[in-house]
Amino acid sequence: MNPKGLPHSKLFRAIIVLMVLLGFAAWSPSPVGIFARGTFHTVFLPAEQLFSWASFGLRDAMEFLSSVGDLKYENERLTEENMRLQAENARFAFVRDEDESLRKSVGLEIRKRFDLLATEVVASGGEGGRGSVVISRGSMQGVSVGMAAVVGEGVLVGVVDEVYPASAKVALVTNSESALGGITLGNGSQGIVRGDRGLGISYGNVLQSNPLAQGDQVVTSGVGGTVPSGLLLGTVSSVRDSGDRLFREASILSPVDFGKLRFLFLIRNGLAQ
């Protein structure tokens, strides 16, 4: 035994500090977390913008260097794919008008016209290092909790869940704490879209009687939240029964590479219809 007694030993100090830290992590009081993150990401936002600018530049340079050797092969592949897509495009032109009018009639078209606020990712982290991102717009620019963050022509990537003066935190749809109402295009099967530990997206609580198949596109239903309907979430990649066999569930493959997010668009309140 330590001659100074247990209260002075390294083990005792380590146990006390560990208990306090793990207790705080388990408790995780929301106001303290929001205050701490808000202070950090407001005070150091300029440094974060500088660091993220450098890291995106570094990533682009690395990707360019690694792709140089593949350019010839890639060019040949793209030429072939271009010809195939031209043929496919001509074939789809016949059915496009009919398909669009059908989707509009049931209110399920992937929406393309919103009042958008452009923003840039300056940090990421959370679950698996990819559960959330910090963006360079905050309450001073009109950002509010619940705003949907999209890329491209209406592909949902996340929802604003904390707002700071000059920045905000977006919980990505891959985050386990993210839950949204979803619906499949074409057959209208409704369910709940949840993040899967920062790694993927799952689609659950779909009734056994509702059709759900690989290749179905899933969009937001707009039910029970601030996210508008008709935002694309992804394509069903595999279907299975839930553990209790009461529902069907699926994995959704998003068209977005969440590891390469840089520019996002927030959908402001008062959406253009």
Q: Which is nearer to other proteins, 28 or 105 (CB)?
A: 28
The residue from 42, 124, 139, 144 that contacts other proteins (CB under 8 A) is 124
Comparing CB distances to other proteins, the nearer of 49 and 139 is 49
CA atoms of 88 and 66, how far apart (whole Å): 31
Distance CA 26, CA 220 (A): 32
Judged by CB under 8 A, the stretch of 32-40, 73-81, 96-104, 209-217 that binds other proteins is 32-40
3-state DSSP assignment of residue 215: coil
Q: How far apart are CA 78 and CA 84, in angstroms?
A: 10
Contact with other proteins (CB under 8 A) among 6, 54, 85, 213:
54
Q: Which of 108, 114, 119, 121 binds other proteins (CB under 8 A)?
A: 121
The answer to the question of residue 135 lying near other proteins (CB under 8 A) is no
Q: Would you say 47 or 85 has its CB closer to other proteins?
A: 47
CA dist., res. 124 & res. 134, Å (int):
6
Tell me if 231 sits within 8 A of 252, measured CB to CB.
no
Least distance from C-beta 80 to other proteins, angstroms?
28
Count interface residues toward other proteins (CB under 8 A).
50
Q: Which CB, 111 or 130, lies closer to other proteins?
A: 130
Enclosing H/E stretch for 56 = helix 45-67
54-62: Cβ within 8 A, 24+ apart:
56/262, 59/260
Asked if 176 interacts with other proteins (CB under 8 A), we say yes
Question: Exactly one of 1, 4, 28, 64 binds other proteins (CB under 8 A); which one?
Answer: 28
The CB-based long-range contact list for 85-90 (8 Å cut-off, 24+ gap) reads: none
199-258: contacts with other proteins (CB under 8 A): none
**Measured at the alpha carbon of residue 169, what is the angle toward residues 227 and 42, in degrees to the nearest 5?**
140
Interface residues with other proteins (CB under 8 A)?
10-11, 13-14, 17-18, 20-26, 28, 32-33, 36-37, 40-41, 44, 47-48, 51-52, 54-56, 58-59, 62, 121-132, 134, 169, 176-177, 197-198, 259
